[in-house]
């Protein structure tokens, strides 16, 4: 394998260079499949001036009204200090509010505004549409099998359901 053809012919400029090896990996196929959805996700979020982290924050706040910033940081797996910027931005756009907590005057209770909930619902619907379109080549049975397999990989083997 890998015959030493050290001499390069010309090398076209477009997308010629595919790395054969990486394509063998399931991880690579997984990534490529995920990238299809991620790209669509980015496109949708861009229309609403959100990045993935901001949208995740919004989603978490919508689904967990009243949580403090530290819990948000844990959920997003980022540092507390980094949430400040994100929360600032969401608050500045009137998508969420920092409410006072009666029992602990250090903490904030984060809640989504009506506007925030509406934007979240809108985006969620768009994502669902993308999902449906992308999965149009799969039957319901296929989809179930796929989900089971992904879960199996995620959990490190097993499942087989």
Partner DNA sequence: TATTGTTATACTCTATAACTATA
Partner DNA sequence: TATAGTTATAGAGTATAACAATA
By the rule CB under 8 A, 87 interacts with a second copy: no
By the rule CB under 8 A, 56 interacts with a second copy: yes
> Strand pairing partners for 108?
100
By the rule CB under 7 A, 39 interacts with DNA: no
CB of 39 to DNA, least distance (A): 14
By the rule CB under 7 A, 145 interacts with DNA: no
Q: Which among DNA, a second copy, none contacts residue 23 (Cβ within 5 to 8 A by kind)?
A: none
Determine the size of the site formed for a second copy (CB under 8 A): 80
Q: Which among DNA, a second copy, none contacts residue 78 (Cβ within 5 to 8 A by kind)?
A: DNA
By the rule CB under 8 A, 127 interacts with a second copy: yes
CB of 132 to DNA, least distance (A): 28
- What residues numbered 54-113 form the site for DNA, per CB under 7 A? 68-70, 77-87, 98, 103-108
């Amino acid at each position: 394998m890998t015959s030493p053809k050290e001499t390069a012919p010309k090398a076209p400029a477009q997308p010629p260079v595919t790395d054969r090896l990486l394509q063998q990996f399931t991880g690579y196929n997984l990534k490529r499949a995920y990238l299809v959805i991620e790209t669509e996700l980015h496109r949708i979020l861009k229309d609403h001036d959100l990045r993935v982290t901001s949208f995740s924050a919004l989603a978490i706040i919508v689904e967990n009204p009243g949580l403090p910033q530290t819990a948000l940081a844990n959920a997003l797996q980022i540092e507390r200090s980094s949430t400040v910027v994100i929360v600032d931005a969401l608050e500045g756009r009137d998508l969420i509010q920092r409410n006072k907590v009666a029992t602990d005057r250090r903490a904030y209770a984060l809640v989504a505004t009506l506007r925030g909930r509406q934007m979240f619902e809108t985006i969620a619907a768009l994502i669902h549409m993308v999902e449906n379109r992308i999965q149009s080549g799969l039957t319901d049975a296929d989809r179930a099998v796929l989900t089971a397999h992904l879960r199996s990989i995620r959990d490190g083997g097993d499942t087989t359901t």
